[in-house]
Amino acid sequence: MKLAPIRSTALTFATLLLAASAAPPKAEPTTARAADAEFLKESKQAKSTDATEQAAYEAWFGKYRLDLNDPKMLDADADGDGASNRDEFLADTNPRNASSHPPTGKAQAPLRFTEYNEGKLPLVLESVRGGKAVIKNGDLRETVVEGDRIRGLPLRVTKISDRKTSDKEGAPTDRSQVLLEDTATKATITLVKGLPAKTTATHAVLASADGKESVKIRGGDVFSLPGKPGTTYRVLDIAPDEVLIQQQDTRKTWTLLR
């Protein structure tokens, strides 16, 4: 009479052993934070395709819940630390944490932002579809294709790019672009959907910390001060109240405030 419980217990124990051996192994914890940091680091480096650059760009803003469809988002300061979301992206700091921000030019940079001059264009790219672009030109709108000239301006449309994608969270984004060529200077001007256009005449003047040397810069320039030709910088962005530069050898980024 006492054998039945023993068999039952042995059977139950065997069943548990079989269930344990059949259970899938527990997944090891992921290193999503480290992977995101590495992904963003790589996005700052030169890429071979526009698609890869776009994916990296959108992933970073999706990570910090910043809406790429909001035309004011790049210039906004989500955490109130004095640095715009654009500056936080380029410096790879956290736009949601006020203690994480790019170093300011006033405190640390070897250069000072002394002058800004903007060349404005009365153009805004409104939409791109089917190889055609709608551009607001002053108070008028015109639909153009590649090869067309912009009414009243010495500009020719060289490329139209329809870039409607989704961010990391699945929200639709439109980063369509139109490239224009200045027929007089052969310079290229990029129109990005919803953003005001600037001519290649837009420039800033930076001075050395002691004010003895200065240099005129434009967006995308690689430059050095006359007295320090071995130290070069790249201009990441120019705005009326700040210039963002990166030192080439150290990849250190400064926001120079005017």
Is residue 167 within 8 Å of residue 61, measured between CB atoms? Answer: yes
Which amino acid appears at position 90 of this protein? L
- In this structure, are strands 203-208 and 155-161 parallel, antiparallel, or unpaired? unpaired
DSSP classification of residue 222: E
pLDDT of residue 233: 93
Hey, what amino acid is at 32? Answer: A
**Phi, psi (deg, nearest 5) at residue 64:** -105, 15
Element (H, E) at 214: strand 214-217
Q: What is the pTM of this model?
A: 0.44
Fold topology of 121-198: SH3 type barrels. (2.30.30)
Spell 126-151 as b/e; 16+ CB within 10 A means b: ebbeeeebbbebeeeeeebeeebebe
Closest CA to 119 of 85, 153, 148: 153
Q: Do residues 138 and 153 touch, judged by C-beta distance below 8 A?
A: no
Instruction: Give residue-wise pLDDT tens across range 208-217.
Output: 877 888 999 9
* Segment (H or E) for 63: helix 50-63
Contacts of 242 (CB under 8 A, 6+ apart): 84, 87, 105, 113, 255, 256, 257, 258
Quick one: pLDDT at residue 54? 63
Q: Could you list the beta-strand ranges (E) of the chain.
A: 111-117, 120-129, 132-137, 140-144, 155-161, 164-166, 172-174, 177-182, 188-192, 196-198, 203-208, 214-217, 222-223, 233-239, 242-247, 253-257
Q: Give CA–CA dist 122/65, Å, rounded.
A: 32
Q: Residue-wise over 182-199: b if at least 16 C-beta within 10 A, else e?
A: beeeeeebebbbbeebbb
Quick one: tokens of 180?
């224009």
Structure tokens belonging to residue 126: 């409104």
At 82, phi and psi to the nearest 5?
90, -5
pLDDT per residue, tens digit, the chain (258 aa), is 444 444 443 344 344 334 444 444 444 444 444 545 454 444 444 444 455 656 767 788 888 888 888 878 888 888 777 788 888 888 888 888 877 877 654 445 678 899 999 888 899 999 999 999 999 998 999 999 999 999 999 999 999 999 877 766 777 888 899 999 989 888 888 888 888 788 878 899 999 877 888 999 988 889 998 888 888 999 888 888 889 898 888 888 888 888
Bridge partners (DSSP) listed for residue 157: 180
